[in-house]
Structure 1
Amino acid sequence: MQKRTIVIVEIVSTGFNYVEDALMRGYQPVVVECTFPGTEEDRAPFLVSREIARGKLPKGVPYIEETSDYAALLERVRAYDPVLVVPGQEFAVELATHLAYDLGLPGNPWSIIGKMTRKNEMHQALADHGLRSIRGKLIHNEEEAIEFYKELNTSHVVVKRARGACTQGMHFCEGYDEMIEAVRTELALSASDEHVGDILMQERIIGKEYIVNTVSCAGKHRLVSMCFYDKLEMNGSNIYNYMESVNRLDVGNSAIVRYAYDVLDAIGIQYGPVHGEYMVDEKGPVLIEINCRPMGAGQTRQYLDKIYGQHETDSALDSYLDPVKFEQERLKPYRPPRKGVVKWFILPNDITLDSAPVLQLVRQLPSYFYGVFERLGREPFLTQTVDLETTGGAVYLVHDDERVVQEDCAFLHRLEMQYPEILFNQSHAEPSAYAPRVPLQEIIQEADCHGTILIFSDTETETTGAVVVGSGELPAAYDSYDNVILDLCRPETFSDTESVFQQIFTFLSKVRIGGRVLIPQSTYCHLPYGDIGMEILLRARGLQIEAPLAGKGKMIIASVCDL
């Protein structure tokens, strides 16, 4: 008997989870491409992500490439006899909704597609239902922009595209000059590229931004996840810093969720997932925009399950295929079991990348789950961060103790702002100051080392009372020493920062709980930022940096604590 199919329009980012969920339910996934709007530059990162996702598809998954012939596409999809057509990405919503409607499948009415995808129509729907909305207007020329700017009577405005993803094409303007410059930029792009579309000007609401992710079944709505963004105004843009899960509703949070449900009703949402972005100021919550698809940010189903006890695409399939289970889950209290944070890496400046020690460093953090660094493999020259597509990558953190996650996130942000070379190395590390090598026996004696001693050295092969290993022997070395000494003195050892970080972290794993790590200046002087760079590695590994011993030179001492 042939399997029934679930058609997924675009599988970039979190949309890929639908593929695995369909297979686990016994359905055959079928993937369809859509057309990405925006300029060629805007579309480029989505096309790269699409190819990466396609490369991960299980063997035998049918794949229909992008086409402008809707009638032919409809018949190709019809031939697979799908039970559902779902959008996996923001720009797929229109095509997926159209296909589902024409095939008579469960979904949202085609008549509301404008309110589902166009920011100006979303807010008009809210106003029509008496809900708080943001004042805005489509702009076709400079004269309209100037007139509406005066009507708004505020210096804080946003110029953006009526359809767009993330922060592409978005301008946060302070005053008339910035407004008119943004309008001219976007109008010129719209005139030269049909994919850019309409330009929207809105008043800017300043507050704290929350995400409310829901799934709906026959007009009933369920909260599946809630989080908030931290953003920074720098590099002429509003840049994502991190996104943190809301695990317990605080005072005022329930009002956001109630308002989100009202928004869904005003738009007319009947089925499936909605990723809603809301700003909260002194007046309460107001919609920024909704996206009628699963939340993105490249979150795997395993990561989401760890945080929320479920993942959105699976819960969305319940809304279509198993309304009884949907209702059971809808009535349960919201209780995410673990704290999660997605931390995006900000590049304060343009860099020419020599190595990426960040790949080794993040793996040491106690809350590390996985990382995504797509740009690092394809672009040696990295432009400064101005939006999500120009970040240096992302790390996904989760832990039972929310303080651990928050501390790890704050630690990474401090590094990217104050010590960026420790993450993204632009050139071979310049030493802080060359220091003469201290004989190993002198280090052992001064540090009063007793018990077992391991020395990782690029210079000596043996010393009395200790085991000395080079890079080749290090991985197989015994892993429970009382004392370990890092004796890397040759500049050529540090020619590849990422590689040497990997070796140092392997070395640090060889000391037992209660044991000590000793690093002389002749080693750490070769690292970016010298002693600070070494202490960053120790902190990432979770070691306790000890107070220096008076009269013992400039040796760094750390210990392994049982926390």
Structure 2
Amino acid sequence: NAQAAPGRIHVHQQRLKTMPAELESATTVAGNTVTAASATAMSGGKLETLCVAIVDPISTGACLAKHLSSQGYRLCRVFSDTIPDSVKALVAAGLEVDWEVTIQHEGRVASTLAALRGVGVTHLLVGSEPGVSLHAELSAAFAGGAALSLPREALELRRNKYLQSEAIRSAGCDAVHQRLAHTHDDVEAFIHTIEASAAKRFKAVVKPVEGAGSDGVTICNSAAEVRLAFGKLEGTKNILGLDNYAVLCQEYLEGDEWVVDTVSRAGEHKVVALWKYDKRDYHGSPVVYHGMRLHNVEADEPLLRGMVAYVTAVLDALDITDGAMHSEIMATARGPVLVEVNCRLHGGEGIWLPIAEACLGYTQVSALCDSAFAPPAFASLPATPRSPLLKHGAWVTIRSPADGTITAVHHEKLARIRALPSFLGEYCAPCIKVGCRIRQTVDATTVHGCFNLVHADAATLEADYRVAQQLIDEGLFAFTPAAAGEKDVVRVETPKGPRFSYQLSEQEQVQNSLWGLLHIWRPLEENSGAVPLRKLRAVRRSGWRF
């Protein structure tokens, strides 16, 4: 293994105290049925260096893997049984790592746990949203020294937005008014509650009870829109490939939306970043990301000091003591109210990491690694984002007002954004080129890239942010709108009326989203430093490194 690079995280030399003689039952490891002995052979018998397993290392999880790899840690990846194959097969260009072994979880925690111990895994981390539940189960079993069962209630609190809000309400924290809808009768009961409330106008939110990236979220301004939104989600799957077994109906929370990124160790919570979302209506879609801005508590002390106290109380109420959390909070007139706690790193493919590094000198990824492997370094981190900030940072999203086929890219507008004093970098989806079909931006999953902005002067950053937003709203590209009768075009009913949308191929969907950002994401088969999953599954001999 490579020696650890200089820095706060040190590679500890350690041998496992125990090693199971054989697996209790079969586990698929990159397509092989292995015993502990063969699993050890896969790792080359090298058990001296700490070996870290990352569950579903995609999105920012890939950045986590690269960070650990650069420090000399041995790495094992675990794919959960919920992550779609199409997502597994994507890897960030430049973030490839030398995996000791790949383990495909097939439903039995005891089997996967034995395989992890067989390859010498000493630490477990979660890389992305699909792996949250499996990571929680494996962590409980790993810590207990046997395949212990995590209580179902504790497991569901990691992913279920409804149960999170009910749990914090029971603990005395303010929580959103809501109803979990399994049937149309549940929906009607929720509508009656909203109509009977003292609200001046009807407004509600309907969304999947589990999900990510504003997927399936609908803002409803009437009872009819609530019924329509429920009907669209009932019996479907979300972007993570999980069944929408129930639909969450909630009051609409008026106010600004914030993200509070934390890292915890043994019950000590550190707020490592405060981001203010710029979410607004965009051509009829009410919750479109236009950007986000990094802040410290001192930017608005009365608001943010209270928000930090609220979030730490929420984490305590949910019995969260360790790991990285990505919490979304509404700053309402009655105070901060939880939207959800995502029990993993801030996602978005880690495109925000350069901003955090430039403004803070550390990131949620580095803080998570410190919490696991360098406790003194973690202890030295401030309780809230540093003050003063080293620089001020934000990012703005690339959006499309409708479905269409691109006929021209306005390079002069791109050049103006790149010439801004605060310009740090850009991420453009592969679909932004002449001849490609592009999807209308309606949520986080249909954002087509972003521009990162950082500057030492807050006023300069603010001015550049406004200029970039104006240029994006004017249009960075020209396109011919999708029309009725065109190939693969379907009519989509929305609360604002019908629109025409493409039925994109799987490849086109990847090219249209953050999953397919140019120079970030590309199919694993095209990465010279990695091995395609179909080849991983075809491996028939131990000793391979992949």
Q: Deviations over 1:391-447 (max 9, x none)?
A: 221111111112222222211211222x21xx12337xxxxxxxxxxxxxxxxxxxx
2: distance between equivalents of 1:271 and 1:262?
14
Q: What residue in structure 2 maps to residue 413 of structure 1?
A: 469
- Is 1:320 the counterpart of 2:369 in the alignment? no
Task: Kindly provide the amino acid, as one letter, of the partner of residue 406 in structure 1.
Answer: E
Asked whether the equivalents of residues 223 and 334 of structure 1 are also in contact (C-alpha less than 8 Å), the reply is no
1:114 aligns with 2:156: yes
**Conserved in 2, the CA contact under 8 Å of 1:10 and 1:88?**
yes
Q: Once the two structures are aligned, what percentage of the paired residues are identical?
A: 25
Aligned partner of 2:210 in structure 1 is 163
Q: Does the 8 Å contact 2:109/2:138 carry over to 1?
A: no
| Distance in 2, Cα, partners of 1:406 & 1:67 | 49
In the alignment, which residue of structure 2 is the partner of 1:205?
253
* 1:279 match: secondary structure: strand
* Alpha carbons 1:375, 1:393 under 8 Å: kept: no
Change (3 A) 1:13 1:188: closer
> Could you say if the C-alpha distance between residues 271 and 198 of structure 1 is closer, same or farther in structure 2, counting changes exceeding 3 Å?
same
Corresponding residue for 1:245? 294
Structure 1 residue 6, shift from structure 2 partner: 1.0
Q: Match of 1:182, as an amino acid?
A: A
Contact 1:350 1:381 in 2 (8 A): yes
Tell me the CA shift for residue 319 of structure 1: 1.7
- Establish whether residue 349 from structure 1 lines up as the match of residue 402 from structure 2: yes
Query: Could you tell me how far 1:212 is from its partner in structure 2?
Result: 0.9
Partner AA of 2:267 in structure 1: G
Instruction: Please tell me whether residue 304 in structure 1 is matched to residue 356 in structure 2.
Output: yes
Partner of 2:530: none
C-alpha distance 24-15 of structure 1, shift in aligned 2 (>3 A): same
1:258 to partner: Cα distance: 0.6
- Confirm or deny: 8 A CA contact 2:82 2:242 kept in the other structure: no
- Please list, as runs of the form range in 1=range in 2, the aligned pairs for 1:55-134 lying within 5 A after superposition: 56-60=95-99, 62-65=101-104, 67-68=106-107, 70-104=109-143, 110-111=150-151, 112-134=154-176
Q: Determine helix, strand or coil for the equivalent of 2:366.
A: helix
Structure 2 distance, partners of 1:93, 1:387, is 22
Report the alpha carbon displacement of residue 164 of structure 1 after superposing the two structures with TM: 0.4
Tell me the residue number matched to 1:17: 63
Q: CA deviation at 1:76?
A: 2.6
Partner letter of residue 130 of structure 1?
G
CA separation in 1, counterparts of 2:286 and 2:121? Answer: 42
2:257 and 2:276 in contact (8 A); partners too: yes
Q: Is the 8 A contact 1:12 1:88 kept in 2?
A: yes
CA-CA distance at 1:331 after TM superposition: 5.3
Distance 1:412 1:267 in 2: 39
**In 1, distance between residues paired with 2:237 and 2:129?**
20
SS at match of 1:82: coil
What is the letter of the counterpart of residue 415 of structure 1?
A: L
Does structure 1 retain, via aligned residues, the 8 Å contact 2:269–2:383?
no
**Residue of structure 1 equivalent to 2:420:** 365
**2-side partners of 1:97 and 1:328: how far apart?**
27
Deviations 1:270-325 (A, max 9, x none): 10111111001111111110111111223354442112210111111222223232
Give unpaired runs (5+ residues) of structure 2. 1-45, 481-546
Aligned match of 2:262: 214
- 1:210–1:277 Cα contact (<8 Å) kept: yes
Within a 5 Å distance, the mapping from 1:397-412 to structure 2 comes to 397-412=453-468
Q: CA deviation at 1:141?
A: 1.1
Residues 1:195 and 2:251 aligned together: no
2:489 aligned partner: none
Contact 1:11–1:50 (CA under 8 A) maintained in structure 2: no
Letter aligned with residue 239 of structure 1: V
1:333 Cα deviation after fit? 6.9
Kindly indicate whether the alpha-carbon contact (under 8 Å) linking 1:221 and 1:330 is maintained by their aligned counterparts in 2: no
Cα deviation digits, residues 436-489 of structure 1 (max 9, x gap): xxxxxxxxxxxxxxxxxxxxxxxxxxxxxxxxxxxxxxxxxxxxxxxxxxxxxx
Deviation digits for residues 99-120 of structure 1 (CA, Å, limit 9, x no counterpart): 22222279xx944222221001
1:395 counterpart residue number: 451
Q: Which has the higher contact order (CA 8 A, sep 6+)?
A: 2
| Length-normalised TM-score, structure 1 | 0.68
Aligned to 1:406, what secondary structure does the other structure show?
A: helix
Q: Which shows bigger deviation, 111-120 or 382-391?
A: 111-120
Q: Give the letter aligned to residue 424 of structure 1.
A: F
SS of residue in 1 equivalent to 2:321: coil
Alignment-mate amino acid for residue 228 of structure 1: K
Report what 1:268 is aligned to: 319
1:258: which partner in 2? 309
Q: Over aligned residues, Cα RMSD in angstroms?
A: 2.8
297 and 60 in structure 1: CA distance in 2 versus 1, 3 angstrom threshold: closer
- Asked whether the equivalents of residues 123 and 133 of structure 1 are also in contact (C-alpha less than 8 Å), the reply is yes
Q: Deviations over 1:337-381 (max 9, x none)?
A: 111112111211222123443665543322222222234279911
Q: Deviations over 1:518-538 (max 9, x none)?
A: xxxxxxxxxxxxxxxxxxxxx
Conserved 8 A contact 2:66-2:96: no
Q: Structure 1 residues 355, 102: CA separation in 2 closer, same or farther (over 3 Å shift)?
A: farther
Contact in 2 for aligned 1:163/1:197 (Cα 8 Å):
no
Name whichever structure is richer in helix by fraction.
1
Give runs of aligned pairs for residues 146-545 of structure 1, distance below 5 A. 146-152=188-194, 153=197, 154=199, 155-189=202-236, 195-234=243-282, 235-247=284-296, 248-250=298-300, 251-299=302-350, 301-330=353-382, 334-335=386-387, 336-356=389-409, 357=411, 360-376=415-431, 380-417=436-473, 419-420=474-475, 423-426=476-479
User: Which letter maps to 2:400?
Assistant: L
Residues 8, 141 of structure 1: alpha-carbon distance in 2 compared, 3 angstrom cutoff? same
Retained in 2: the 8 A contact 1:86–1:97?
no
Unaligned runs of 5+ in 1: 38-42, 428-563
Partners in 1 of 2:56 and 2:414 — Cα distance?
28
Q: 1:204 to 1:50 in 2, by over 3 A?
A: farther
Mapped to 1, the partners of 2:415 and 2:107 lie a distance apart of 44
Q: Which has the larger radius of gyration?
A: 1
**Cα offsets for 1:10-36 (capped at 9, x unmatched):** 232222221122124331122222345
Identify if the C-alpha distance between structure 1 residues 373 and 145 changes in structure 2 by more than 3 Å, giving closer, same or farther: same
**Structure 1 CA distance for aligned equivalents of residues 108 and 171 of structure 2:** 37
Contact 1:138 1:200 in 2 (8 A): yes
Shift, 1:50, TM fit: 5.3
C-alpha spacing 1:333/1:405, structure 2 compared with 1 (3 Å): closer
**Alignment TM-score, normalising by the size of structure 2:** 0.70
Contact 1:275 1:295 in 2 (8 A): yes
**Matches of 1:363 and 1:123, distance apart in 2:** 42
Instruction: Tell me the alpha carbon deviations over residues 41-76 of structure 1, each in whole angstroms, 9 at most, x when there is no partner.
Output: xx69xx458513387313455334564555443333
